[in-house]
Amino acid sequence: MKQSKALIKTLKQAPKQAEAISHKFLIRAGFIDTAVAAGIYSYLPLGWRVMQKIADLIRSEMNALSGQEVFLPCLQPKNLWQETKRWDTMDPPLFKLKDRHKKYLALGSTHEEVLTDIVRRFVESYKDLPLYIYQIQNKFRNEMRAVGGLLRVREFIMKDLYSFHAEKSDLEKYYDKVLKAYEKIFAQCGLKTKIVQASGGTIGGSITHEFQMICTTGEDRLLICIKCNFAVNQEISQAKTCPNCNSLLEQARGIENGHIFQLGTKYAKAMKAHYTDKNGKKQLIQMGCYGIGLGRLMATIVETHHDSKGIIWPKNIAPFDIHLIALVNADKIYQELSEKFEVLYDDRDESPGIKFNDADLIGIPLRIVVSEKTLAKNSVEIKKRREDKVELVKIKNLLNSLYV
Q: Which residues bind a second copy (CB under 8 A)?
A: 1, 4-7, 9, 33, 35-37, 40-45, 48-49, 51-52, 66, 68-77, 80, 92, 95-97, 99-101, 103, 105, 107, 114, 117-118, 122, 127, 130-131, 133, 137-138, 140, 142-144, 154-155, 157, 349
In the complex, least distance from residue 135 CB atom to a second copy, rounded to whole angstroms: 9
In the complex, least distance from residue 192 CB atom to a second copy, rounded to whole angstroms: 28
In the complex, least distance from residue 18 CB atom to a second copy, rounded to whole angstroms: 16
User: Which residues are CB-neighbours of 304 under 8 A, at least 6 positions away?
Assistant: 190, 191, 213, 215
In angstroms, how far is the first alpha carbon of the chain from the final one? 24
In the complex, least distance from residue 394 CB atom to a second copy, rounded to whole angstroms: 32
- Total Cβ atoms within 10 A of residue 194: 16
Which residue's CB is nearer to a second copy, number 5 or number 373? 5
Which residue's CB is nearer to a second copy, number 83 or number 183? 83
Cα(214)–Cα(230) distance, rounded to whole angstroms? 14
Compute CA distances 220 → 14, 34, 199, 228, 320, whole Å.
25, 24, 12, 20, 32
- Give the three-class secondary structure for 40: strand
Backbone torsions φ then ψ of 187, nearest 5 degrees: -60, -40
- Total Cβ atoms within 10 A of residue 271: 19
In the complex, least distance from residue 43 CB atom to a second copy, rounded to whole angstroms: 4
Of the candidates 151, 144, 156, the residue with the CA atom closest to the CA atom of residue 21: 151
What sign does the CA torsion over 272, 276, 281, 286 have?
negative
**Neighbouring C-alpha atoms within 13 Å toward the C-beta of 219:** 13
Which residue's CB is nearer to a second copy, number 298 or number 380? 298
Query: What order do you get walking across the sheet with 95-98 strand by strand?
Result: 75-77, 104-107, 95-98
Which residue's CB is nearer to a second copy, number 80 or number 171? 80
Which residue's CB is nearer to a second copy, number 48 or number 341? 48
Which residue's CB is nearer to a second copy, number 133 or number 337? 133
In the complex, least distance from residue 246 CB atom to a second copy, rounded to whole angstroms: 45
Cα(389)–Cα(170) distance, rounded to whole angstroms? 52
Tell me which DSSP letter residue 285 carries. Answer: P
Which residue's CB is nearer to a second copy, number 254 or number 293? 293
Which residue's CB is nearer to a second copy, number 142 or number 199? 142
In the complex, least distance from residue 164 CB atom to a second copy, rounded to whole angstroms: 10
Task: List the Cα angle 82/83/87 in 5-degree steps.
Answer: 25
In the complex, least distance from residue 5 CB atom to a second copy, rounded to whole angstroms: 7
